[in-house]
Structure 1
Amino acid sequence: MDEDWQADLERWLAPYLEALGNKTRRRMCPAYIAGLIGPGDRKSIQPMAARSDAIPYDRLHHFIGAGLWDSAPLEATLWSQADELVGGDRAWLIIDDTALPKKGKASVGVAPQYATALGKNANCQTLVSVTLASGEVPLMLSLRLFLPESWTSDTARMDKAGVPAPLQEYRTKLEIAIEEIDRIIAAGVRFGCVLADAGYGLSAPFRQALSTRGLCWAVGIPRHQKVYPADVQLIFPVAGRGRLRVRHVPDVKSMAAHVMLESAKWRQVSWRKGTKGRLTARFAAMRVRIADGAPQRIGSAGAQHMPGEEAWLVGEHRSNGERKYYLSNLPADTPIKALAGAIKARWICEQAHQQLKEELGLDHFEGRSWTGLHRHALMSMIAYAFLQSRRLAQAGRKKKSPRSASPTHLAGSAPGHP
């Protein structure tokens, strides 16, 4: 990074500092973010303060952990800047979560739980993340802590960690994600399609919540997710004896996603250029009805889910032999290459998680409070947005007047959000 980055950072942070008001806070915010961006392996408060004579440790610690200031205006500024940089109908909104490994039991939200990045259970904090991305440029919009039931069942423990009273009830990661999507839509951030892995995509309420909001989505699913053929019909079965049937039932049984795609036509598809050439895999796609309607007893088959929304079922056979499956409500005329491009665009959020941790110290925070953790995460996201803005400016790709640009939909008449 060239030497004038700190002068650029000062200009970039001007709208953030206006919202902070207090003179000391207006000094601490740039100092903290410069500490995250600057040299040094450890980006917790003590080593950042030690590397700079201009940052007293106690003031920096108070700013993040205990200072009385509202993060909402800073978050609103971040979202506005992110929208100007990469927002639009071709942008992706990517839902995921990331784990911060921790020792002990005192840090807010820490518990033994599954850490995706580690591929195993670990003592960690889990943050639900929302990333806005266009092409290969991600910007993190939101990082919200998930509280396991071992925390939400212990009010005294939550009070000690400073968890706000309205957030002390147990909420799943899926519920947190939908709440964040609603806040992002309300703020006017523009995107064309929501992406998520199978941890979120396996949930019918999550998919249905996105569809109810008029959003396009493409999500991973388990191979055993049940689906119906797109032409499934609802019929009144003839009763051999007893009372006449009063409810429709499907004329065929649902089947697992991987079984449905066994008869599909598979083809080699390339979705983007990587560092070692074009990225390709074999894909198949067919229209189906998702078996996520109301459960109903269907003859000898027992309780089955009725046909729900029509969607794309997509399969991917990777060169290493791995097989993955997806659902998407993109329009019926969407080409398979566009489906593959949407599905594979999710990888960029994992890169953002890695950069936030390795370069900006997202997982270095040593405080234990709810407020401190979320403020540190916000400072990390602002620092990341600043670096991405410089990257775009240097590449000459920054949009001239994004809000006046004519919308270009992802594929055909893909619906956007209001």
Structure 2
Amino acid sequence: MLLRIGHRFGRVDLRRRMRDYVRGLLGPVGRKNGWQLAEYVGHDVPAGLQHLLNRARWDPDEVRDDLQEYVAERLGEPDGVLIIDETGFLKKGTTSAGVQRQYSGTAGRTENCQVAVFAAYASTRGRTLVDRQLYLPKSWTSDRDRCRSAGVPDGLAFATKTELARHLVTRALASPLPIAWVTADALYGQDWHFRRMLEEAGLGYVVAVPKSQQVKSLAGCWRIDQLISDAPDDSWERLSCGDGAKGPRVYDWAAAMLPAVPFFEGDEPSHRRWVLARRSIARPDEIAYYLAYAATGTTVNQLVTVAGSRWAIECCFQSAKNECGLDQYEVRRYPGWYRHITLAMLAHAFLAAMAAANITERGAAETDLSSSPSAWRRSAGSWQLAALEQVTASAHSTPWGGPASVGATRPPPNAVTTNAAPDVTNSGTMTDSQLATLENKPLTSRNSELQLEY
């Protein structure tokens, strides 16, 4: 992999420092800061590695492009899912680019931190981070002197997190990554600009939304929690949305297809919108809500699987921080942040590709992202919202159209197991034997993907 990106670093000494930095991120280093990384890779002082991040001439966006090409080759599948989420980086002081007191999902409270929006790619072959965008609050973008001191480009204006997410999707679509779906949490899902952009790009999506989300159709307008509360008991089905740390993640799910709008979608629309709800089995009052958009003929089980794939980016954050030092940087300036984060993502992508290769070598069978559906799912036998003319004048009318016999045709609730992607979370850093090929100088391209030829 380093051979692929070597040309992005103009000089031999710079390529070697990049190689050493990534090797340190992959190695068994307790705290992956400058001094400990330098000691691990055999440098007397961390000045060379710090120069790589702060002053050397190379473009982290070009390396990101190479990373996406690498991920497409190693993990790409036609039904690949792009996952959008943010994570926080706790910091002290006020000089690190974008830092301020703001909510951090990492800490679960308001802290002095940096926040960045990330994109991860997931398929049955693996999952890894593929893009990043540092969030700059208005307190930063309105203070140009402060921005210049931190190396923030003069032309960079304030952008919300949802706007950053749209930038990530746009870049991913321009990359070699094969993407069929997008999923995100409610911060992004409730933004109609974000959803409309995905629809115009022809991407399917399953995005979380708050319970107050308004759902509009020809039959009327409801809050999504009120709509779901009117769902018949037999519209809920017990399904697994994928394997988690403790086995299959099984919930009760209800789905309803929204009626098509011929004026906008034509007489025979190619895609349909859905509402989806996930209910905890142990605590039935805990319900999560989703809006979805998918090609006609998409099954409920496929939507559930895509919804469950959002968990993959949390695994990526955990493993990238624990194993690749994603959050263990000591840079304060804007360019240095992108350089460290990009190289940490590169290390994480290598681990994900190595895990996928190990499974392939063991002869593991590869399947589609969605499990093989039953007959009623193939025929889209979900509950469908009634069109306007089907809604009665009764005050008790609900949008859950169709005869009661539709629910009676469903099989009894059961857990459907889906194939999980190879997990690099908590797999530990690379062992000495795995890193052995990286110790030789000069490196050759014959022994390891992580080797460079000078």
Fold match, TM over 0.5? yes
Determine the structure 2 residue equivalent to 1:174.
162
Unmatched 5+ stretches in structure 1: 1-11, 233-251, 292-308, 400-406, 413-418
1:390 maps onto 2:354 in alignment: yes
1:161 maps onto 2:150 in alignment: yes
Judge conservation of contact 1:114–1:121 (CA < 8 Å) in 2.
yes
CA distance in 2, matches of 1:206, 1:290: 20
**Structure 1 stretches (4+) deviating beyond 6 angstroms?**
407-412
Aligned residue pairs: how many? 357
Q: CA deviation at 1:53?
A: 2.3
Higher mean alpha-carbon deviation, 333-342 vs 122-131, is at 333-342
Determine the structure 2 residue equivalent to 1:256.
223
Cα distance change, pair 290–351 in 1 and its aligned pair in 2 (3 A): farther
Judge conservation of contact 2:23–2:41 (CA < 8 Å) in 1.
no
Higher mean alpha-carbon deviation, 257-266 vs 68-77, is at 68-77
Alignment of 1:209-228 (within 5 A): 209-228=197-216
Determine the structure 2 residue equivalent to 1:240.
none
Alignment of 1:307-386 (within 5 A): 311-321=273-283, 322-386=286-350
Judge conservation of contact 2:75–2:356 (CA < 8 Å) in 1.
no
CA distance in 2, matches of 1:104, 1:289: 53
Judge conservation of contact 1:272–1:279 (CA < 8 Å) in 2.
yes
Q: CA deviation at 1:91?
A: 0.9
Alignment of 1:18-417 (within 5 A): 18-54=7-43, 56-135=45-124, 137-167=126-156, 169-229=157-217, 231-232=218-219, 252=220, 254-264=221-231, 265-274=235-244, 276-288=246-258, 311-321=273-283, 322-396=286-360
Unmatched 5+ stretches in structure 2: 262-270, 379-454
Judge conservation of contact 2:207–2:290 (CA < 8 Å) in 1.
yes
Judge conservation of contact 2:125–2:356 (CA < 8 Å) in 1.
no
Cα distance change, pair 36–313 in 1 and its aligned pair in 2 (3 A): same
- SS of the residue corresponding to residue 377 of structure 1 reads helix
TM score, norm. by length of structure 1 = 0.80
Deviations 1:364-391 (A, max 9, x none): 1111100101000001011111111211
Q: CA deviation at 1:106?
A: 0.7
CA distance in 1, matches of 2:260, 2:138: 31
The one-letter code of the counterpart of 1:258 is D
Cα distance change, pair 257–139 in 1 and its aligned pair in 2 (3 A): same
Higher mean alpha-carbon deviation, 122-131 vs 14-23, is at 14-23
Judge conservation of contact 1:89–1:408 (CA < 8 Å) in 2.
no
CA distance in 2, matches of 1:63, 1:398: 38
Q: CA deviation at 1:228?
A: 3.0
Q: CA deviation at 1:290?
A: 11
- SS of the residue corresponding to residue 316 of structure 1 reads strand
- SS of the residue corresponding to residue 39 of structure 1 reads coil
Identity score, percent: 31
Cα distance change, pair 320–110 in 1 and its aligned pair in 2 (3 A): farther
Determine the structure 2 residue equivalent to 1:299.
none
The one-letter code of the counterpart of 2:340 is H
